[in-house]
A and B are shown apart, each in its own frame.
Chain A
């Protein structure tokens, strides 16, 4: 069978999909992963064949169809609508490439990440069953509704009045963390995956001093690292190029999923793939205010006891005092309740079917 996966718009949006795509391939099926050119290195680095459907990038669609630059409003409903429309224009841009690929390669299934709205359209056009792949974290329904509205002209061209419903849905969110309004889906165990690189020896030290890992994907603040040094832990910065860090702090392009171990504490901004990787490794989390839309699952995670939120979580990207982060890390390291909650969520994840278990369900015959 031929299975076409449709990637997300960033590396972080692609990572959770990789284990399933690999598992389908290892099941003996032919797999292609379609995506915008800028995420194809992520696809190739996962050992998967990537096909470009457009060379433009997400930021190109902060311009509306009339060529006017779109200012994103303050967080709230208007913001969600505007972001959804960006995704819609992004999907419209990749649609022709995806339609051509479906026509030429003739896949038997199309599996797309939930935010890749071109996937159900191209699947419908090719008469191919569509599988929706969701993290069900930070995928607000308004994004989807606004994206589909933006895609109105494309739906019209294809003779559609609404987004075609998926044949199957898959979700990697553990049940207790899943958005309460998420659509029913087949559960899939999250397997931590990020682009890999050669590991420095310090990653596997042979002893178990706890780690506080800062996974920020941006400029990591030197003052924060300086402050964390007072903790009884090894301080590690993951997910960034090696740069200047205070003495004794480890840094490198080391995948978080490889460097983090049960009982460690991860400081990050709540991106869904990072949240899931922490849970799969039974690590506790200290959550800084992140992008709009991340506060919802961050709040649920805190209520489940596996994370501590710092700063004003209602204000996306709000600055946080170093002392507050350090104090939160100290508290999480010292209080076994966080680790216990993280272990409970990991146990929940371990109950979910593995990628290889899902392959027969996604490739079985379609009963009309």
Chain B
């Protein structure tokens, strides 16, 4: 069958849907992932076929048409509405090219990550089932609702009176960490994926000191979220640990000079994480899930509000320690690291969640659910 994956506009949310797309491809299906032009390399470098549907970027949704920055609200509810409208706007930009591609390629099913609101619309337009796949452990629902509102004119144009609902929801959150009222889902084991580069031997071997990885997700640039990262490096580097900093090359350069016990640069999480004793991050969805997969304890500082929910759940579970952003003084972060490194229960709980995840249906089993859906809807 022909499976059309619709990608989000940033690499973090694309990484989450790559395993299911690769599984579909390796099961002999034709797979195309549609995406904005600027993230096409992220898709092709995962060995997947990509089609560009717009030349506009996700980050442009933060700007007015004249290039002025839209003010980001500080009130939480207003911020969710703002975020949702951005995602809706982005979906609208993708739709023109996406509908045209679907008309030519005639997919049998459409798979989209959460927050990719063009996916349900193109699926309904093509008259095929829509599969929604979670890209992390859940976002505030107001974002979805505001995106639908923003897409009102598109719904009208396509003759739909509501956002088409998913025919199948594939969730990657392990059951013991799902929200109590989470919708029914086909659960899929999360397999960490990140863009690949050259693997060096220091990445998969470690010395005697505890190894701590500091990551700020893959969206950091020297202009964006940079203070978060440089702050963390200074705070954690002072401990008696081997410190690895996962950051794009330009960001790593901006962090130099670094002390002897610190390395910074591009790092493949799936290569390094198995050697780590602790990961400190801003609680980006795929970073948190990746470390859960490898059974690594985490110190999470959720600077972005939507990460708060799953950060709390993982903390309550005992596999992570949360530090509220307002408490991120050097002393507090160093103390929290010391505490997690010195408390075996964090490692034990991290291993527990990794074990639970290892028993979940893998991507090829989740794919079987997609195949059944397509089969029954014909």
Q: Which residues of A contact B (CB under 8 A)?
A: 18-19, 22-23, 25-28, 30, 32, 40, 43-52, 100-101, 104-105, 189, 191, 193, 195-199, 204-206, 255, 258, 280, 350, 354-356
Contact = CB atoms under 8 A, between A and B. Distances in A.
Contacts of B43: 196
A105 B274 CA distance: 11
Given A22-B47, A26-B191, A28-B358, 10 more contacts: A26-B23, A44-B45, A47-B46, A47-B48, A193-B25, A196-B50, A204-B32, A255-B49, A355-B26, A356-B27
A-B residue pairs, 7 tightest by C-beta: A206-B104, A47-B46, A356-B364, A46-B47, A196-B44, A44-B196, A19-B26
A272 B268 CA distance: 32
Contacts, number: 120
12 contacts: A23-B26, A27-B362, A45-B44, A47-B193, A49-B268, A193-B25, A193-B47, A196-B47, A196-B49, A197-B44, A198-B44, A204-B51
Contacts of B41: 198
Nearest to A280: B28
Contacts of B196: 43-45, 47-50
Nearest to B19: A26
B197 A44 contact: yes
Interface string B37-65: 10011011111111110000000000000
B154 interface: no
Given A104-B204, A199-B51, A206-B104, A22 B26 contact: yes
B363 interface: yes
B198 interface: yes
B44 A22 contact: no
Contact of B362 (A26, A40, A51, A355): A26
B105 A204 contact: yes
A26 B361 CA distance: 11
B312 to A, nearest CB: 27
Contact of A204 (B22, B104, B268): B104
Contacts of A40: 198
B239 to A, nearest CB: 26
Most-contacted residue by chain A among B32, B37, B193, B196 (CB, 10 A): B196
A280 to B, nearest CB: 8
A191 B28 contact: yes
B101 interface: yes
B271 interface: yes
Nearest to B48: A196
Contact of B45 (A23, A45, A105): A45
A31 to B, nearest CB: 9
A26 B363 contact: yes
A25 B197 contact: no
Contacts of B376: none
A12 to B, nearest CB: 15
A202 to B, nearest CB: 10
B26 A49 contact: no
Contact of B52 (A18, A46, A195, A198): A198
Contacts of A45: 44-45, 47, 196
A93 B96 CA distance: 53
A184 to B, nearest CB: 24
A47 B26 contact: no
Nearest to A101: B201
A191 B25 contact: yes
B352 interface: no
Contacts of A48: 47, 196
B236 interface: no
B199 A50 contact: yes
B25 A47 contact: no
Contacts of B44: 45, 195-198
Interface in B180-199: 189, 191, 193, 195-199
A112 to B, nearest CB: 17
B270 A49 contact: yes
Nearest to A20: B26
A28 to B, nearest CB: 6
B205 interface: yes
Interface in B1-52: 18-19, 22-23, 25-28, 32, 37, 40-41, 43-52
B364 A23 contact: yes
A46 B191 CA distance: 15
Given A26-B23, A191-B25, A50 B198 contact: yes
B22 A22 contact: yes
B103 interface: yes
Interface string B257-276: 00000000000101100100
Nearest to B293: A28
Contacts of A255: 49
Contacts of B197: 44
A270 B19 CA distance: 32
Given A48-B196, A356-B23, A198 B362 contact: no
B361 to A, nearest CB: 11
A191 B18 contact: no
A104 to B, nearest CB: 5
Interface in B353-372: 358, 362-364
A258 B43 CA distance: 15
Nearest to B25: A191
B104 A205 contact: yes
